């Protein structure tokens, strides 16, 4: 398997004397000091278990994709279509779900794919080829039907926000392979999701573990480049001058390691500045690969997500531990045929390309790919507009989820929902157990991956839970 880690660690001397960005011998000393201070914070670490997967690409479908219209079709809804949906009303009902409601059948056609003939939406033309590599899980349940709280729940384990994202926990547990790139990268869609950067926050973990959003336009990392009127020569001269000031200062304050660490952080920043453009240069990919991901598509959404999926692969290949790709727009309350249809058109090719590409290079063996939204959608709807406005509201007790790679089962369905898709009924587990399972698939034990904060050792699952054994092959 070709894995481009050669860019990860140029030897320090090599870098300092040949990159032209170095601060000279001073920085070398400083880096050695600094290394001591930062010892091991982000260095690659052994997990708690042996696991095939070492990296994770988390495809977050923001808005709540309908399981019923994607990977968990409900033929019963054809019979029930437009009959009234009656459920117990309590004061624990969001106002969204009140009023008269009716069952709504899926407007989509389905196809059988893979060796088992798993039924998936016909719109997944490309993804149909990947079904035998995928494990669909239908027993998952969210808790909240409110976007920001449900997103926080899925991403951080805590509905109310403030806790570290899963990518932060994984980077905390496993470190990262490439010290010149962030260990946890987020590739947001056009707009930041509800709840914003809290979805990739390091929470109470130290800032080393924060998710770094890479921007698709301009500088990929904020302020990675100086203002346009600063040229390279000026930057280098200023850095050298800064280095001299810091050297004299450190001579007067020899006992303080943190000074060296800070000098080293400037070096790290500029190694990142040097390495990032290559890492994100999609033009370097062969035309066939660009075509595979849909970069030549007429559908701008396909191009946009295709770029991010390809970028995810390039980053994982270069030793980034955790990449989260956001694909928004799944909040289809009405007109689900158009709204969800266009989402499926947008994600099908890029996501299938990612799986195929990872598989052919062997990276799928060591990369866990996860596809999930923050909750599912209801089999019923309050009727707005006329017959053609079929849609679905938020639904926590059943949702869409699949994963592939590493030790995840292949070509399998785990769990089941009831006949209308309202609730999971088999192998039912809350989000926290999914978190425990995903960590396990990455070689980490949720109960041991803890950090003392707010008065106790905190963990991704919040208070522990159990492994979903069926999801570990």
Partner 1 sequence: MRNCLLPAALLPLTCLAAGAGEDLFREIVQPTLKQQCLGCHGEGNTFAELDLRTRDGALKGGLRGAAVVAGDPGSGTLIAALEHAGELKMPPGGDEKKLPADTVRAFREWVAAGAAYGPAASEAAWDYAEEDLWAFRPLQKTAPPEIADTEMKIRTPVDRFILEKLAEKNLPPGPRADKLTLLRRVTFDLTGLPPTPQEVREFLDDTDAGAYKKVVERLLASPRYGERWGRHWLDVTRYADTSGYSNDFERPTAWRYRDYVIRSFNADKPYDRFILEQIAGDEIFPDDPEAILATGFLRTGPWEHTGMAVAAVTRQLFLDDVTHHVGQTFLGLTLGCARCHDHKFDPIPTKDYYRMQAVFASTAFARRPLDFQPYEPTAGFAAGEKYYSDTIADLDRRMDLLHERGRVRLAAAKGEEAAAKAASGALQRYLDKEEGETLKLLRKQKTLHQGSAQRFNPIATAVSSGLVKAWNDIPSGANSYMQKGDYANAQTHVLVGGDLQAPSDPVSPGALEAVARYSALPAADIPQTVSGRRRALAEWVADPRNPLTARVMVNRIWQYHFGRGIAANPNNFGKMGKKPTHPQLLDWLAAFFVEQGWSVKAVHRVILLSEAYRRSAEHPTPAALQQTDPENLYLARFSPRRLEAEEIRDSMLAVAGELSDSTGGPGTYPQINSDAARQPRHAQGSLRPAYQPAPKRRDRNRRSIYSFQQRSLLDPMIEAFNGANPDLTCERRESSTVPTQAFALLNGEQSHDMALIMAQRVEAEADSPARRIARAFKLAYGRSPADDELALALDHYAKMCEHHAAHPARPRGEEPTIVAMITSELTGEKYQFAQPRLKVDYEHNPHPSEATPETRALADIALALFNSNEFVYVY
In whole angstroms, give the CA distance from residue 442 to residue 49: 8
Could you give the CA distance from residue 326 to residue 352 in angstroms, rounded to a whole number?
16
* Residue closer to partner 1, measured from CB, 361 or 450: 450
Smaller CB distance to partner 1: residue 152 or 363?
A: 152
- The least CB distance from residue 147 to partner 1, in Å, is 6
Q: Minimum distance from CB of 139 to partner 1 (Å)?
A: 10
Q: Which is nearer to partner 1, 286 or 452 (CB)?
A: 452
Tell me the C-alpha distance between 324 and 210, whole Å: 12
Decide the pairing of beta strands 451-453 and 456-458. antiparallel
Q: How far is the CB of 87 from partner 1 (least distance, A)?
A: 15
Structure tokens at 47: 């997990």
Give the CA angle between residues 266, 267, 268 to the nearest 5°: 90
Task: Please state the closest distance from residue 234 (CB atom) to partner 1, in A.
Answer: 6
Q: How far is the CB of 145 from partner 1 (least distance, A)?
A: 6
Q: How far is the CB of 190 from partner 1 (least distance, A)?
A: 4
In the bound state with partner 1, the residue whose beta carbon lies nearer, of 82 and 94, is 94
Q: What is the DSSP string of 8-51?
A: T---HHHHHHHSS---THHHHHHHHHHHHHTTTSSS----SS--
Cβ contacts of 435 within 8 Å, gap of 6 or more = 157, 166, 446, 460, 461, 465
Minimum CB–partner distance for residue 289 and partner 1 (Å): 25
Nearer residue to partner 1 within complex by CB, 332 or 459: 332
In the bound state with partner 1, the residue whose beta carbon lies nearer, of 191 and 284, is: 191
Structure tokens at 368: 């866990």
Helices 257-279 and 232-252 pack at an angle, to 10 degrees, of 160
What three-state secondary structure class fits 359?
A: helix
Q: Please report, for residues 71, 175, 263, the alpha-carbon distance to residue 105 in angstroms, rounded to integers and kept in the order given.
A: 14, 46, 62
- Provide the minimum distance between the beta carbon of 84 and partner 1 in the complex, in angstroms, as a whole number: 22
Nearer to partner 1, 133 or 169 (CB): 169
Contact 289, 45 (CB under 8 A): no
Nearer to partner 1, 326 or 354 (CB): 326
281-287 LR contacts (CB < 8 Å, sep 24+): 282/307, 282/310, 282/311, 282/314, 285/310, 285/314
Instruction: Kindly state the smallest distance separating residue 14's Cβ from partner 1, in Å.
Output: 19
Q: Which is nearer to partner 1, 170 or 292 (CB)?
A: 170
Given the structure tokens 């001579």, which residue do they identify?
251
* Choice between 210 and 417, CB closer to partner 1: 210
- Residue written as tokens 């295709």? 306
- φ and ψ at residue 381, rounded to 5 degrees: -155, 145
DSSP codes, 54-81: -EEEEEEETT---STTTTS--THHHHHT
At closest approach, how far in Å is the CB of 114 from partner 1? 26
Closest contact distance (angstroms) between CB of 112 and partner 1 is: 25
Q: Which phi and psi (to 5°) does residue 429 adopt?
A: -145, 145
Shortest distance, CB of residue 347 to partner 1, whole angstroms? 11
Phi-psi category of residue 362: left, alpha or beta, with phi > 0 → left and psi -120 to 50 → alpha: left
CB 150 within 8 A of CB 396: yes
Closer to partner 1 by CB, 69 or 133: give it.
69
Q: Are strands 416-417 and 55-61 parallel, antiparallel or unpaired?
A: unpaired
Nearer to partner 1 among residue 91 and residue 115 (C-beta): 91
Residue 21 CA, chain-centre distance (Å), reads: 33
């Amino acid at each position: 398997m070709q894995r481009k880690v050669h860019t990860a660690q140029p030897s320090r001397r090599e870098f300092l004397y040949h990159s032209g960005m170095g601060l000279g011998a001073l920085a070398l000393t400083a880096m050695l000091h600094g290394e001591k201070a930062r010892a091991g914070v982000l260095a690659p670490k052994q997990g708690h278990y042996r696991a095939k997967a070492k990296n994770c690409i988390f495809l977050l479908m923001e808005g709540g994709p309908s399981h019923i219209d994607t990977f968990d079709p409900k033929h019963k809804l054809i019979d029930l279509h437009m009959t009234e949906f009656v459920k117990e009303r309590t004061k624990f009902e969001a106002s969204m779900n009140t009023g008269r409601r009716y069952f709504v059948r899926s407007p989509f056609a389905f196809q059988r794919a893979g060796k088992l003939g798993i039924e998936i939406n016909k719109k997944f033309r490309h993804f149909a080829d990947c079904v035998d590599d995928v494990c669909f899980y239908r027993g998952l349940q969210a808790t909240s039907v409110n976007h920001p709280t449900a997103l926080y729940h899925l991403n951080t384990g805590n509905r109310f926000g403030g806790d570290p994202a899963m990518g932060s926990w994984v980077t905390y547990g496993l470190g990262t392979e490439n010290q010149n790139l962030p260990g946890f990268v987020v590739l947001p869609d056009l707009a930041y999701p509800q709840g914003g950067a809290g979805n990739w926050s390091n929470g109470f973990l130290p800032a080393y573990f924060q998710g770094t959003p890479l921007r698709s336009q301009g500088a990929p990392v904020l302020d990675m480049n100086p203002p346009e009127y600063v040229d390279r020569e000026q930057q280098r001269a200023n850095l050298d001058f800064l280095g001299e000031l810091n050297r004299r200062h450190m001579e007067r304050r020899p006992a303080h390691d943190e000074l060296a660490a800070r000098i080293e952080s400037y070096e790290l920043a500029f190694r990142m500045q040097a390495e990032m453009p290559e890492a994100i240069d999609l033009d370097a990919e062969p035309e066939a690969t660009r075509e595979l991901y849909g970069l030549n598509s007429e559908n701008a959404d396909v191009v946009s997500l295709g770029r991010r999926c390809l970028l995810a692969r390039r980053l994982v290949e270069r030793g980034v531990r955790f990449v989260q790709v956001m694909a928004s727009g799944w909040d289809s309350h009405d007109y689900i045929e158009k709204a969800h249809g266009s989402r499926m058109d947008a994600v099908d090719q890029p996501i299938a390309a990612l799986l195929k590409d990872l598989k052919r290079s062997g990276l799928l063996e060591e990369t866990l790919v996860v596809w999930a939204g923050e909750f599912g959608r209801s089999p019923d709807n309050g009727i707005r507009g006329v017959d053609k406005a079929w849609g679905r509201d938020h639904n926590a007790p059943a949702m869409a989820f699949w994963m592939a790679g590493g030790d995840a089962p292949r070509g399998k369905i785990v769990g089941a929902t009831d006949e209308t898709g309202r609730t999971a009924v088999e192998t039912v587990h809350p989000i926290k157990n999914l978190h425990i399972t995903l960590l396990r698939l990455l070689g980490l034990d949720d109960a041991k991956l803890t950090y003392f904060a707010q008065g106790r050792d905190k963990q991704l699952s919040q208070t522990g839970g159990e492994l979903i054994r069926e999801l570990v092959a």
